[in-house]
Chain A
């Protein structure tokens, strides 16, 4: 049942990649990709309906022995932590394929790589085996490299290689930490439900956790490992940026929650203050740097760094509410980033620039791009955390849940949330408002089909903003169950003393 989510996209990728003539019929190729992604999305919704919310454990498990010598087995399962991420993945894959231009160059390899990536990400979210996770994690490397470096902006070669090296280093760190986890527990398989990581001494736990935090921190990304992100997001074409920011960054936060907090609850609670501060610094840094940008895509890229900081804060706080907030923020950030990148892609396509100094007056009803700019305003507001939209719900739960544990980092994050509003106001003010330049403003019309993804995303943003139960209900039992292993503050002080002594 879950395998379908991995294999249907990959088979679709193979069909597109090896069928003759798919380059000469770009429209047909696009339709095949769209139908494949649509089927996966429908199947994902079906799984969501079958999902038993009250069960905190792994559901719909699948198991096949694969390579006993390596401890590698094909073990899949879905729980509250991964179900929303899976949905996000298949939804955004569909959006990305839909929002790609019909005249895309070399459609065969383009669509097959997107589908391959989608299958790989689904695999990483589903797997219950560390090595299998690593396999799927590394599987993203080359397709994304090619997606950035073939269909990208001016400096795409540089951006793509930077992405590649950062991600490869992150993979190496994660693999080393996984080896350490399995070897130190004396386990023979990499299945993580059977790993007694608690038996490792606390000092070693902290070292391993540190490897995991840095490894996934590159992917999330956290300051100071974020420098690949502005380049990669900006140089990637907008469908690819949607996938990069919407889905791939979630792989990092998901990994942090699943393998960091889930596997090392004790070490996690010792490192938690550091992580919370780190998250707050990331958030402030992202917001402040975004204010200084002159390129709207770069602005949104830095805003993404800021929003991912909240997730780190919430996971560090690890209260019942904060964790629900973290998962909701992961989902909401994916949706909001997708709408922003899609609209920026439309603007760039029609107007031909992304410079804040050149854009002006897009709100103008006749010759501007009125609906696009209206949707951009909504996207910006959602990102800045205006009530009634999904961003507010997630951020509010995060702050509410973290305040009792880490008041100062939470306040810093709230401040950075205010700064988010600042740079989105700058962005909207410079692009949507003002007067059109009469000499230059002969923009092509935005077709209805180009607006559809943004409209769907807007509906999701409003619906989940007003009816947030649908956002939080999936993850609550699982995250609550994860908390059971986290030691209480008094136990933490005992633990940290023990580390200090050893």
Chain B
């Protein structure tokens, strides 16, 4: 094999975005080693610049024909590009919000950013991974970095507990996932590439075998953990409460997006024979997530726990698109995750800002905030109302698209459940808005009474303000001006061969199933 042929097979250009992230990561670490703490003034911007360079590099790959990297281990199709973009963008905003937060907690910023970039790297690779080992490695890269980030503020016992709990649950779910993956390898007669697995299983005639179902359920357990779908959600409230807030901002958006990317790729490519089964399992997960997430969120008193349950519920809504399994369904998932990025990060930015100034997360402590800090009130109100699906904000359009795609696919019951639980969700989102906006000056909480003067010139607060305003504007107008995002979401699905109804794989599958049927 000559070198040119090898290079074309390797096709290393497809991982240029990840390459940029790695270089940024190393840059951050080395700069910190040489300069120490003094570098923390600008090291965050270096990381953000790197992430944006990576997003630009992603843009150049849009709609390229040559997107298989490393002989099939990594697929840089438009679906993966969209998800890699979401992960990178969520990391960039997370860095904006973490500069002040981490500094204030007394920990080192550069290590934090380095671990965060590693997690981003894992998430980006996971979005495009199309080979079992590659999936496992990128999943674990993401997971281990997440554990480290969760316990990063190690003087705080809650952070320690959250990290331990997250690690225990995460490690066991990884083990279950790995077991499912090893079953897949065996069932398909020794294939590790996803498309080959689909074919292999069909050839081996294991289409409806018990082994395949077990593998499916085990794999779903691993995915369900990442997207925090009930009943694999139990880590979410505790981790959200204990971990540093910027970390959970990333976990709720970046990590979840990577999980959904994995779900789409793995389920559609490796399990085309048991479509009805995995749709059934995900229907159960979606029903549970929507009900549990929305109902339990009603009773939360801590903002971070409330957002944790709300994120479980939002995962339930997104699963609607996955269950629909149509082009519109996948596109609505992508669109919802995009707007979810804006509104959730905007919400978390406000939570961070509030806790930086008052040191508390309790919902009652937000009482009367409109008088002291109107920008924070506006930002948190808009993002929570958008999460609740109030027009004309981004979340409204996202939910409408999800529900409409679900309805078109015939999921009437799920859509009705989604509508009802959205009504429930409006209640707990509006409760926070009520605290901030409605409460009279004499009902003001102690934290707000002693609210410090609003200043943006302290180190690290300016990026927080920038992040807040950018995500706030995006949440407000990306619904009304949603056409570009819609086009992006739809094209990312339409250009992705694996999601087309008439792909080679499904043809083969159809052929083999008809052959099987004839034999029987």
Partner of B419, one of A68, A136, A146, A176: A176
29 contacts between A and B (CB under 8 A): A66-B483, A68-B483, A69-B401, A69-B490, A70-B397, A109-B437, A134-B391, A135-B396, A139-B392, A141-B390, A142-B430, A142-B433, A146-B437, A146-B438, A149-B438, A150-B438, A157-B434, A161-B427, A168-B423, A171-B423, A172-B420, A172-B423, A176-B416, A176-B419, A179-B404, A179-B407, A179-B415, A180-B407, A183-B408
Q: Closest chain B residue to A109 by CB distance? A: B437
B486 within 8 A of A: yes
Mark interface residues in A213-255 (1 if CB within 8 Å of B CB, else 0).
0000000000000000000000000000000000000000000
**Chain B residues with CB under 8 A of A134:** 391
A40 within 8 A of partner (CB): no
Does A145 sit within 8 A of B, measured CB to CB?
yes
Contact B427 A165 (CB under 8 A): yes
- Cβ of A164 and Cβ of B427 under 8 Å apart? yes
Q: Report which A residues bind B (CB closer than 8 A).
A: 66-70, 109, 131, 134-136, 138-139, 141-142, 145-146, 149-150, 157, 161, 164-165, 168-169, 171-172, 175-176, 179-180, 183
Which of B404, B434, B486 is packed against the most chain A CB atoms within 10 Å?
B404
* CA gap between A145 and B429 in the complex, in Å: 13
> By the criterion CB–CB under 8 Å, are B430 and A131 in contact?
no
Q: Which one of B416, B420, B426 contacts A164 once the chains associate, using CB atoms below 8 Å?
A: B426
A135 touches B392 (CB 8 A): yes
How many angstroms from the CA of A171 to the CA of B423 in the assembled complex? 9
Q: How far is the CA of A131 from the CA of B400 in the complex (A)?
A: 9
Pick from A66, A169, A172 the residue with the most CB of B within 10 Å: A172
Q: Is the beta-carbon distance between A172 and B396 smaller than 8 angstroms?
A: no
Q: Which residue of B lies closest to A138 (CB)?
A: B391
Closest residue on chain A to residue B439 by CB atoms? A150
Which residues of B have CB within 8 Å of A67? 397, 482-483, 486
The smallest beta-carbon distance between A165 and chain B, in angstroms, is 7
B486: which A residues are within 8 A, CB to CB?
67, 69-70
Is B385 located at the chain interface by the 8 A CB criterion? yes
Residues in A whose Cβ lies below 8 Å from that of B401:
69-70
Give chain A residues whose Cβ lies under 8 Å from the Cβ of B408: 183
Question: Is B422 engaged at the interface, CB distance under 8 Å to the other chain?
Answer: yes
Chain A's nearest CB lies how many Å from the CB of B440? Answer: 8
B396 to chain A: which residues have CB within 8 Å? 135, 138
Q: How far is the CB of A177 from chain B (nearest CB, A)?
A: 11
Extra A-B contacts (16), CB below 8 Å, given A164-B426, A179-B407, A183-B407: A67-B397, A67-B486, A69-B328, A69-B331, A70-B400, A139-B391, A141-B390, A149-B434, A149-B438, A168-B422, A171-B423, A175-B403, A176-B415, A179-B403, A179-B404, A183-B408
Closest B residue by C-beta to A170: B423
Shortest Cβ distance from A137 into B: residue = B391
- Tell me, in angstroms, the Cα distance from A176 to B434 when the chains sit together: 28
Interface size on B, residues (CB 8 A): 31
> Can you list, as one digit per residue, whether each of B371-394 has a CB less than 8 Å from chain A (1) or not (0)?
000000000000001000011100
Residue of A nearest to B391 (CB): A135
Residues of B near A131 (CB, < 8 A) are 400
- Return the chain A residue nearest B399 by Cβ: A175
Residue of B nearest to A156 (CB): B438
A453 to B490, CA, bound (A): 53
Which A residues are in CB contact (< 8 Å) with B482? 67
* Bound CA–CA A165/B331 (angstroms): 30
B residues whose Cβ falls under 8 Å from a Cβ of A? 328, 331, 385, 390-392, 396-397, 400-401, 403-404, 407-408, 415-416, 419-420, 422-423, 426-427, 430, 433-434, 437-438, 482-483, 486, 490
A302 to chain B, nearest CB (A): 26
Assembled-state Cα–Cα distance A180/B411 (Å): 12
Q: Which residues of A have CB within 8 Å of B403?
A: 175, 179
**Residues in chain A near residue B404, CB distance under 8 A:** 70, 179
CB A149 to nearest CB in B, in angstroms, measures 5
Report A-chain residues with C-beta under 8 Å of the C-beta of B437: 109, 146, 150
Known: A67-B483, A145-B430, A183-B407. A169 touches B423 (CB 8 A): yes
When the two chains form the complex, which single residue of B390, B415, B416 contacts A138, counting CB atoms closer than 8 Å? B390
Chain A neighbourhood of B391, CB < 8 A: 134-136, 138-139
Instruction: State the CA gap A242–B6 with chains docked (Å).
Output: 76
Chain A's closest residue to B335 (CB) is A69
B430 touches A164 (CB 8 A): yes
Residues on B with beta carbons closer than 8 Å to the beta carbon of A139: 390-392
A206 to B331: give the CA distance in the assembly, Å.
33
Complex Cα distance A136/B407, Å? 22
**Closest residue of A by beta carbon distance from B434:** A149
The reply to whether A168 and B426 form a contact with Cβ atoms under 8 Å apart is yes
Smallest CB-CB separation from B423: which chain A residue? A168
Shortest distance between the CB of B97 and any CB in chain A (Å): 24
Complex Cα spacing A67 to B392, Å: 13
CA A39 – CA B32 in complex, angstroms?
Answer: 62
For A138, what are the chain B residues with a Cβ–Cβ distance below 8 Å? Answer: 390-391, 396
Q: Which of A66, A67, A69, A172 has the most CB of B within 10 A?
A: A69
CA distance A150 to B436 in the complex (A): 11
* Complex Cα–Cα for A228 and B408 (A): 33
Smallest Cβ-Cβ distance to A190: which chain B residue:
B404
The 7 A-B pairs with the shortest beta carbon distances in the complex, nearest first, are A172-B419, A168-B423, A135-B391, A179-B407, A149-B438, A138-B391, A69-B486
Which residues from chain B contact A175 at a C-beta distance below 8 Å? 400, 403, 419
List chain B residues, Cβ under 8 A from A142. 385, 390, 430, 433
CA distance A67 to B396 in the complex (A): 13
Q: B423 touching A165 by the CB < 8 A rule?
A: yes
A47 to B328, CA, bound (A): 41
- Name the distance in Å between A427's Cβ and chain B's nearest Cβ: 32
Q: Which chain A residues lie closer than 8 Å to B331 at the CB level?
A: 69
Distance in angstroms from A223 CB to nearest chain B CB is: 22
Task: Give bound CA distance, A350 to B392, whole Å.
Answer: 40
Chain B residues in 8 Å Cβ range of A157: 434, 438
* A143 CB → nearest B CB, Å: 10
Shortest Cβ distance from residue B125 to the other chain A in the assembled complex, whole angstroms: 30
Please name the residue on chain B nearest to A168 by beta carbon.
Answer: B423
Q: Which residues of B contact A145 (CB under 8 A)?
A: 430
B78 to chain A, nearest CB (A): 17
- Give chain A nearest CB distance to B186 CB in angstroms: 42
- Chain A residue contacts of B419, Cβ below 8 A: 172, 175-176
> Shortest beta-carbon distance, A68 to chain B, in Å?
8
Q: Given the complex of chains A and B, what is the CA–CA distance between A362 and B353 in angstroms?
A: 55
**Distance, CA A164 to CA B420, complexed state (A):** 13
A169 to B482, CA, bound (A): 26
Chain A residues, CB < 8 A from B415: 176, 179
A183 — which chain B residues lie within 8 A by C-beta?
Answer: 407-408
A453 and B385 CA atoms in complex are apart in Å by 35
> Smallest Cβ distance from A243 to chain B, in angstroms?
18
Residue in A closest to B419 when the chains form the complex, CB atoms: A172
A139 to B430, CA, bound (A): 14
**Complex CA–CA separation, A70 to B328 (angstroms):** 10
A-side contacts of B392, CB under 8 Å: 135, 139
In the assembly, what is the distance between CA of A161 and CA of B438, in Å? 12
Q: Complex formed: what's the CA distance from A325 to B93 in Å?
A: 58
Task: Determine the distance from Cα of A68 to Cα of B391 in the docked complex, in whole angstroms.
Answer: 18
A444 to B285, CA, bound (A): 64
A134 to B427, CA, bound (A): 19
Closest A residue to B392 using CB positions: A135
Shortest A465–chain B CB gap in Å is 39
Alpha-carbon distance between A272 and B325 when the two chains are bound, in angstroms: 40
B488 to chain A, nearest CB (A): 11
Residue with the highest number of chain B CB atoms closer than 10 Å, among A67, A161, A171: A67
**Docked pose: A141 CA to B430 CA in angstroms:** 11
Contacts of B490 in A (CB 8 A): 69
CA distance A175 to B400 in the complex (A): 9
CB distance from B403 to the nearest CB of A (A): 7
- Chain B residues with CB below 8 A from A146, complex form: 437-438
B420: nearest chain-A partner, CB-CB? A172
Candidate in B397, B401, B419, B422 with the most chain A CB atoms within 10 angstroms:
B419
Cβ distance B343 to chain A, nearest Cβ, rounded Å: 15
